[in-house]
Structure 1
């Protein structure tokens, strides 16, 4: 009888440890209520110039540590897990995104690696005039709101 009690206790401890190791919350995509995306504009304090034939307002990168911490807190990313994330511009600066909280979210580095060339390809297309800003933003939003989750779910299940 006592061995069953010990076995039950050990099983409980094992499953408790496993559940602690798996995060309760790992954002795979931006929360559209908090991070709908925001474009740079001429009156933005980070605006420096218009770019490309389309004259897209460009904001220089300027995200404070405090704002990054606020974003992590909103998305409930624990302090000890933040090293696995990067604060991402939902709409990249290169195609006219802003540094405002509405355009920032914590993206897991492994998710970002799955579309490593997307932002550069879109930037090149906008810069060359092959794609408009609206088309580029739509392509970025579609990709970031639809990450390759089968891989992501496996990754989060066993890692972070």
Structure 2
């Protein structure tokens, strides 16, 4: 686990200068404030949170790349598309929505940092050790403060 923290720290430092001009290192609060699932296909965890199946079409994905480039000055569409995914700011496993208010283009070096935390948070929710509202607060903080992810991960792991 210590190696994961060191790797995260190195990635955060290497991202900071390159990302400023090319891609976002976190979701923009105006374009992607987050949204919860309001048309669930099922309910999950002891808390019975709404769960929406993944359903983001190609046009919506292209639109999120365009919005971040045109409105925020990034250059995601000039980069290799395989290096990105459309991320759910509030993950589906935490009750997030497929709405555009919950989607943003996430670069691979960013999701390599945040995805392990997402999985751990949802695991803790499934075990009844973490409430949805707390998990959402934690993942939002992490996605907006990548340098804090190793410490956040360690705290969540101890729950």
TM-score, with length taken from structure 2: 0.73
What is the aligned counterpart of 1:40 among 9, 21, 37? 37
Moved over 4 A (4+): none
More helix by share: 2
Pairwise CA distance, 1:136: 0.2
Count of equivalent residues: 125
Residue deviations 1:10-33 (CA, integer Å, cap 9, x gap):
xxxxxxxxxxx9983311110001
Pairwise CA distance, 1:116: 3.6
- Structure 2 match to 1:13: none
- Structure 2 match to 1:152: none
Aligned alpha-carbon RMSD (Å): 1.9
- Structure 1 match to 2:108: 109
Work out which of the two has the higher radius of gyration on C-alpha atoms and give 1 or 2: 1
- Structure 1 match to 2:128: 129
Native 8 Å contact 1:62 1:99 kept in 2? yes
Structure 1 regions of 5+ residues with no counterpart?
1-20, 150-160
TM-score, with length taken from structure 1: 0.72
C-alpha distance in 1, partners of 2:97/2:55?
Answer: 9
Native 8 Å contact 1:72 1:82 kept in 2? no
C-alpha distance in 2, partners of 1:49/1:115?
Answer: 25
